[in-house]
Structures are given as structure tokens and as C-alpha cells.
Amino acid sequence: MRDFIIKRLQNSIIKLERVGVKLRKIEKDIIMQAGLLLSEALREISYPNIPGHELEHSFRVFELAIYIWWHERKGDFRKIVFSALFHDIMRGKENHAFYSAKFTREFLKNKNFDDIADDVARIINEHSYSAKLKPSSFESAILQDVDRLDALGAIGIARVFAYGGHLKRQLYNPEDPTKGESLGHFFEKILKLPKLMNTETGKKLALKRVKVILEFIRQFFRELNLLE
Ligand SMILES: [Fe+2]
Ligand SMILES: [Fe+2]
């Protein structure tokens, strides 16, 4: 797991640099340190393997978080990196934001990261969509945005159907495709996400990604209605 995470994060750095995010050595060191700690945490507990919410979701969230941090020129880098990588570590539990925050706070305190443990835990706790908490810091605003961005765009579409399959949902409700099952989830939650963005960069990315979803839904209904 350790080697896998380190390689995966090196890959993240390459991707970020390719899109213009310039990271200094000190920031790359923080990323690797967080990766090592994540691999240690995953020796204590196993990451829940829920379709659409796999560990890869946390890596994407982490990459988007750094992307927004770079464009906004604001926020504590360490807190952003740690909160992104650990935010769903207890995804298998109900009220997972609370339990991911609790686990991360205790884990970081045990590893002598007392200076950021409480703040990282607060950021993680506030990412919950259902709790509808207002972000109490800019780092928290970023985590909310990036977690929601990963539910939009082509990846967001893939996640809705992967998770829907996991919950044994049908592709759509034949009585009313806008309600319930997998397709209904776009109307009930996903299409509302762009309005909830906190940061300017988040808003910009969300608008682009929601267009992909709208086009997908339009075509879905065309096919349902035997139109080309
Ligand atoms: Fe979450
Ligand atoms: Fe998440």
C-alpha cells in the first residue's frame, strides 16, 4: 500500500504541474509526508471499497484541492492536503464525515501532528453534504467544493451509476425517470451542486462540469423517447 500511495501521489504532482500548478520542494515534501501517514492509517483500518467512493476518489479530491489552492492563492497547504486525503477514510460508516474527522484527529495527535489535528478534523467534519454545514475556514470551503466537483462531469456520471449499482438501484424509474433510482439522483442532488460552490475556481469548474451532465441527461431522454 505504501509504495502504491507514493507512486500515485507522484503521479498527481506530475499531473498538477502539467496543468500549470507550480509546487515547491516544501509542498512536495508535505504531500509525501501525508501519503506516508495515509498508508500508515490504512494499516490500522482498511479503506472502504464502495463503488464510486473508492480510494481513487480521495486522490482526485486531493488533486482538485491543490488545483483550487493554487488558483485562489489562499489557504494552508498542509491542512488542505491532509483533509483531502483523509476526508472519507470512514466512508463505510453512517455519518462518515464525523467519524472520518474523529479518526483523523486522534491519528494525527498520535503521530505528533497536534498543530493541525483539530483544524483538519473540523475541515473534514464540515465536508458532509447532508449536514449542510457552512465552511468555517477557507480550507473547509475548498474541501466542500472539490468533493462536490468530483460528483459532477463525466466522472460524476460514472460515480452515480457505479454507486447506484452498488445500492441495487435501477438505471432510472420507468414511471418517472426524474425521480428515484440512479437517474433521479441527478435531479435530486447532483444538479444542485453548482449553486453550493464556495470558491470562484470551484464555481468555474462546476459550471463546466454540469454542462456535461445536462448534455448526458438530454441525450438519455432522447434515447428513452426513441429519438436520435
Ligand atoms: Fe464524504
Ligand atoms: Fe468524498
Tell me the CA–centroid distance for residue 198 and ligand 1, in Å: 17
DSSP secondary structure, the chain, as one string: -HHHHHHHHHHHHHHHHHTT----HHHHHHHHHHHHHHHHHHHHSPPP--TTSSHHHHHHHHHHHHHHHHHHT-S-HHHHHHHHHHTTTTTTSTTHHHHHHHHHHHHHHHTT-HHHHHHHHHHHHTT-TTTTPPPSSHHHHHHHHHHHHTTSHHHHHHHHHHHHHHTT--SS-SS-TTSSHHHHHHHHTGGGGGGG--SHHHHHHHHHHHHHHHHHHHHHHHHHTT--
Same domain flag for 18 and 85? yes
Total residue length of the chain: 228
Residue 53 contacts residue 91 (beta carbons within 8 Å): yes
Answer yes or no: is 65 within a domain: yes
Tell me the CA–centroid distance for residue 226 and ligand 2, in Å: 36
Residue list, CB under 5 A from ion ligand 1: 88
Domain that holds residue 97: 1-132
pLDDT digits (tens, 9 = 90+) for 48-79: 899 999 999 999 999 999 999 999 999 999 99
**Is pLDDT of 164 > 90?**
yes
Tell me the CA–centroid distance for residue 124 and ligand 1, in Å: 8
Average pLDDT of every residue of the chain: 97
Same domain flag for 113 and 5? yes
Q: What is the mean pLDDT of residues 24-32?
A: 98
Q: What is the mean pLDDT of residues 215-219?
A: 98
**Is pLDDT of 228 > 90?**
no
Q: What is the mean pLDDT of residues 121-143?
A: 96
Tell me the CA–centroid distance for residue 48 and ligand 1, in Å: 12
Same domain flag for 33 and 83? yes
Answer yes or no: is 204 within a domain: yes
Tell me the CA–centroid distance for residue 109 and ligand 2, in Å: 23
Tell me the CA–centroid distance for residue 87 and ligand 1, in Å: 6
Q: What is the mean pLDDT of residues 194-219?
A: 98
Tell me the CA–centroid distance for residue 59 and ligand 2, in Å: 10
Same domain flag for 53 and 14? yes
Q: What is the mean pLDDT of residues 191-195?
A: 97
- Sign for the CA dihedral angle at 205, 49, 187, 130 comes to negative
Same domain flag for 67 and 168? no
Q: How many domains does the chain have?
A: 2
Same domain flag for 194 and 224? yes
Tell me the CA–centroid distance for residue 125 and ligand 1, in Å: 9
**Greatest Cα pair distance in the chain:** 61
Tell me the CA–centroid distance for residue 175 and ligand 1, in Å: 31
Tell me the CA–centroid distance for residue 58 and ligand 2, in Å: 6
Q: What is the rounded distance in angstroms from the CA atom of residue 41 to the CA atom of residue 38?
A: 5
Same domain flag for 12 and 75? yes
